[in-house]
């Protein structure tokens, strides 16, 4: 076992402790960024001036009337920017644009003594615009050849030969929607400038260091002149990885120009209409199976809907291509990727970061093709699971595939899958207007940033003279429990009780150059850094304790707030006593820790390498019941076995698995983003821009029976205390719900019918799938159809630019 993964006797990690802020959350005492406004004097409020065109050129901006509104202090425009008028790492996102790129694009901002004054001031501003042609849907962009960024390809083997030699070849097309983050706390920033010109920004951001960089280059400052702090977020899900930067820069610019603190908080409608979502995708594919149903070849083109700018669309696309195999061995693969440029919000990171979109394509293929192959979908999936010695299409060995097989069998056994399958068949035979479906699906999700340089973290740990401990690290807390796990890691490494360790808010002047809390890597990276810092302190204290105990330093043990030698005759000494001795001996009681994930390499131009530290595995079985008259359904039961390695905090991990599953079910079955694609004056408007029009999962959508089990005997070597990531992988367990709906809909038709199920599979979509099952001649999967060969990438299009070059480009421009 590696030193990083080895646990001491009776560790604090592994205990089921509550979230460190749970009591504060439920009592309303937890502070969020906007709560600080009431504690800040003379705050100005910012309000956007939004232009209601999908695409238009701004020909004039009349701001004079706004300044006549009582309480309006200033209007911020492009002319006020002392640095770079851009909020994106690719320099394609003007902070104050002269070209409106989506419906509701903000062209300037008004600062007022009150939010109402700022709102009235914004309403008084007149923007003269020249409407321009717009592309709203991804299909419109494809037809127009409107693409942005690189067009990478993941390829292995000879796809054409594989398809030619396959016993069965199918082809099809699949378009599926994105997803709104709908975090409870909308985007918010509060900025002020001190007497020395130092800019301090409180921001609800998953990436404080990048927020710091963007604010600095907008203001024409160095990074050291800007400090960003994130107290905590009321949800993030990836939506606060890139999107907060420009909003924080607006607040900082206002504070710099007026000398007063500036608060910027989007209301729910503004947040939904101005900020990015999960990328929707369009896929065209051909797939080949042998006579036994084993996958032989896959040829596909994935087109993501990137919106008006690149944001994180390139790495999202890369991860989608790297996850199109999900948990299945495909000998010959060619997957082309491209990013459509549309007149929508700039789509961004969302839990899974492209992985769910790629995996959904192969799950949809298997679900549609299983009946055509005359096979049960569960059997087809199990037959194609990875086994030992196999590699992914991009060349990474699949380690521990036996864990996937173990989880699969465990779900079959504990859910009584076989018996329930028979019961459902009998139920469906006896009920003409109501049908049930039961499906099982796997998850294999790679953990680490695809861009290798992001896989590093830092921490700063202080031990005070009284023995209390303060931890700073670069990760941010958005409700997922990262801070709780980090407290457990620190307490375990130092050998002190959990209550002796406190955690400080994330700040760029404490731990610099941090990576985003994203890619499910927060605990791996920051836990490794905290463990490193604590080990430095412990080694110094071991020298002090050795003298006190009369044993060699290597024989000193720390645990439960006591320090002892390994000899039976050794009497334990309180932790506090050793700390005080160290202070009087002038031994350093603080340390800066660092961690970098080893063993990673990735060539983004070739789309080859080993970008992930490990794979997280999981299996879910879901049962649904569908009403044949309306398409309405309910989830009767869900059984999950998920691999989190040796859990750092089991209670939190169970919550993450349950929450991720429900959020995934929302994306796949409920949450429907509707943009106006008409030719009217509201073309490009997001119609589902509030909770009243955008349906989120609620208690009524929860499974009636919900069983979640953590996979045992799954220690992950080379990860902090043997644990694995848990943030993103559980979301894809919800594929089982969608596939169960497909089976239930198919049960309304003849045996062996294949149904095409839209995503999200809303009750309306399920109803139309039922109608298709009743009239199977209207299916959309064709066998051996040569006319829908996926498009090949544009020969003149650039390969995906390595992120390192993009970062260097940003720094050069700054």
Place of tokens 């939904």: 272
Chain centroid offset of residue 430 CA: 43
Give 26's contacts (C-beta < 8 A, 6+ positions apart): none
Is residue 626 helix, strand or coil? strand
Q: How far apart are CA 77 and CA 59, in angstroms?
A: 14
Is 728 among the residues known to form the active site? yes
Candidates 127, 92, 37, 126; CA nearest to 246 is: 92
Give 500's contacts (C-beta < 8 A, 6+ positions apart): 467, 468, 469, 491, 561, 575
Q: How far apart are CA 148 and CA 391, in angstroms?
A: 30
Please give the backbone phi and psi of residue 335, each rounded to the nearest 5 degrees, phi first: -125, 115
Is residue 215 helix, strand or coil? helix
Tokens, residue 777: 């001649």
Cα three-residue angle 741-747-753, rounded to 5 degrees:
100
DSSP string, 708-759: EEEPSS---TTSGGGB---SSGGGGGGHHHHHHHHHHHHTTS-TT------B
Q: Are 615 and 359 in contact (CB under 8 A)?
A: no
Q: Find the catalytic residue in 539, 728, 782, 783.
A: 728
Q: How far apart are CA 521 and CA 480, in angstroms?
A: 12
Candidates 744, 727, 732; CA nearest to 655 is: 727
List the beta bridge partners of residue 288: 169, 297
DSSP string, 46-91: EEEEEE--SSEEEEEEE-HHHHTSTTEEEEE-GGG-SS-S--STTS
Q: How far apart are CA 663 and CA 657, in angstroms?
A: 10
Give 406's contacts (C-beta < 8 A, 6+ positions apart): 711
Alpha helices (H) in 145-183, listed in sequence order: 159-164
Tokens, residue 191: 């900025």
Q: How far apart are CA 47 and CA 30, in angstroms?
A: 26
Q: Are 814 and 86 in contact (CB under 8 A)?
A: no
Cα three-residue angle 331-334-340, rounded to 5 degrees:
150
Counting beta carbons within 10 angstroms of the beta carbon of residue 776, is it exposed (0 to 12), middle (13 to 18) or buried (19 or more)?
Answer: middle
Q: How far apart are CA 392 and CA 464, in angstroms?
A: 49
Instruction: For residue 259, count other CB atoms closer than 10 A to its CB.
Output: 11
Alpha helices (H) in 516-627, listed in sequence order: 522-549, 575-584
Tokens, residue 395: 């060349």
- Largest interatomic CA distance in the chain: 87
Please give the backbone phi and psi of residue 805, each rounded to the nearest 5 degrees, phi first: -70, -35
Instruction: For residue 168, count other CB atoms closer than 10 A to its CB.
Output: 17
Give 289's contacts (C-beta < 8 A, 6+ positions apart): 166, 167, 168, 169, 170, 295, 296, 369, 373
Q: How far apart are CA 240 and CA 155, in angstroms?
A: 33
Q: How far apart are CA 736 and CA 381, in angstroms?
A: 12
Task: Provide the terminal-to-terminal Cα distance of the chain, rounded to the nearest Å.
Answer: 45
Candidates 302, 235, 315, 227; CA nearest to 275 is: 235
Catalytic positions: 728
């Amino acid at each position: 076992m590696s030193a990083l993964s080895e646990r001491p006797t009776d560790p604090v990690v592994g205990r089921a402790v509550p979230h460190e802020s749970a009591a504060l959350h439920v009592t309303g005492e937890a502070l969020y960024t906007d709560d600080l406004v009431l504690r800040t004097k003379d705050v100005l409020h910012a309000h956007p001036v939004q232009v209601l065109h999908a695409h238009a050129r701004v020909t004039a901006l009349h701001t004079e009337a706004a300044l006549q509104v009582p309480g309006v202090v200033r209007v911020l425009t492009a002319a006020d920017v002392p640095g770079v008028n851009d909020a994106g790492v690719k320099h394609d996102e003007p902070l104050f644009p002269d070209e409106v790129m989506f419906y509701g694009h903000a062209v300037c901002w008004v600062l007022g003594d009150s939010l109402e004054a700022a709102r009235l001031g914004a309403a008084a501003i007149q923007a003269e615009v020249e409407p321009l042609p717009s592309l709203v849907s991804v299909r419109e962009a494809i037809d127009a050849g409107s693409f942005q960024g690189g067009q990478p390809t993941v390829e292995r083997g000879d796809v054409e030969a594989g398809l030619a030699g396959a016993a069965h070849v199918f082809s099809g097309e699949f378009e599926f929607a994105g997803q709104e983050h709908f975090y409870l706390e909308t985007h918010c920033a509060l900025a002020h400038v001190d007497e020395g010109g130092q800019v301090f920004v409180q921001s609800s951001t998953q990436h404080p260091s990048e927020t710091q960089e963007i604010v600095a280059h907008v203001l024409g400052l160095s990074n050291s002149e800007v400090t960003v702090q994130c107290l905590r977020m009321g949800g993030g899900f990836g939506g606060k990885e890139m999107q907060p930067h420009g909003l924080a820069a607006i607040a900082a610019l206002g504070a710099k120009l007026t000398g007063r603190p500036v608060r910027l908080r989007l209301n729910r409608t503004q947040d939904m209409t101005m900020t990015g979502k999960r990328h929707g995708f369009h896929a065209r594919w051909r797939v080949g199976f042998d006579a036994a149903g084993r996958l032989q070849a896959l040829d596909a083109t994935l087109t993501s809907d990137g919106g008006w700018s690149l944001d994180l669309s390139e790495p999202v696309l890369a991860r989608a291509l790297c996850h199109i195999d999900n948990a299945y061995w495909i000998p010959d693969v060619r997957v082309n990727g491209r990013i459509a440029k549309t007149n929508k919000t700039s789509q961004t990171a969302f839990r899974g970061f492209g992985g769910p979109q790629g995996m959904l394509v192969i799950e949809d293929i298997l679900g549609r093709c299983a009946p055509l192959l005359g096979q049960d979908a569960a059997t087809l999936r199990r037959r194609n699971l990875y086994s030992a010695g196999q590699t992914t299409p991009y060349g990474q060995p699949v380690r521990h595939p036996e864990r996937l097989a173990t989880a699969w069998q465990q779900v079959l056994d504990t859910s009584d899958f076989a018996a329930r399958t028979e019961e459902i068949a009998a139920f469906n035979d006896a009920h003409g207007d109501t049908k049930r479906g039961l499906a099982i699906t796997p998850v294999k999700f790679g953990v680490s940033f695809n861009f290798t340089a992001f896989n590093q973290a830092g921490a700063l740990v202080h031990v005070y003279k009284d023995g209390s401990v303060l931890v700073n690290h670069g990760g941010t807390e958005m409700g997922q429990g990262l801070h709780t796990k980090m407290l457990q890691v620190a307490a375990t490494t130092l050998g002190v009780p959990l209550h002796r360790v406190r955690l400080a808010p994330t700040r760029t002047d404490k731990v610099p150059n941090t990576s985003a809390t994203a890619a499910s890597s927060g605990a791996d990276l920051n836990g490794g850094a905290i463990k490193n810092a604590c080990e430095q302190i412990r080694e110094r204290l071991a020298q002090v304790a050795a003298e006190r105990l009369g044993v060699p330093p290597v024989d000193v043990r720390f645990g439960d707030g006591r320090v002892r030698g390994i000899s039976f005759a050794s009497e334990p000494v309180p932790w506090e006593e050793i700390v005080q001795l160290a202070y009087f001996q002038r031994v350093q009681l603080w340390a800066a820790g660092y961690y970098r994930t080893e063993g990673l390499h990735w060539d983004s131009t070739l789309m080859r390498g080993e970008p992930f530290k490990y794979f997280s595995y999981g299996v879910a079985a879901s049962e649904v019941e569908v009403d044949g008259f309306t398409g309405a359904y309910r989830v009767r039961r869900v059984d999950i076995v998920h691999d989190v390695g040796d859990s750092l905090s089991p209670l939190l991990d169970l919550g993450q698995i349950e929450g991720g599953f429900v959020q995934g079910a929302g994306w796949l079955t409920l949450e429907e983003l509707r943009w106006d694609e008409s030719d009217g004056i509201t073309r490009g408007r997001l119609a589902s821009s509030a909770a009243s029009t955008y349906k989120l999962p609620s208690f009524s959508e929860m499974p009636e029976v919900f069983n979640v089990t953590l996979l045992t005997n799954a220690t992950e070597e080379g990860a902090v205390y043997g644990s694995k990531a848990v943030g993103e992988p559980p979301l894809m367990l919800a594929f089982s719900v969608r596939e169960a709906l497909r089976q239930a809909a198919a049960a309304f038709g003849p045996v062996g019918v294949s149904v095409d199920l839209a995503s999200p599979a809303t009750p309306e979509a399920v109803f139309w799938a039922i109608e298709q099952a009743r009239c199977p001649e209207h299916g959309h999967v064709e066998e051996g159809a040569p006319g829908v060969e996926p498009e090949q990438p544009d020969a003149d299009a650039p390969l995906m630019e390595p992120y390192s070059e993009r970062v260097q480009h940003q720094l050069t421009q700054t």
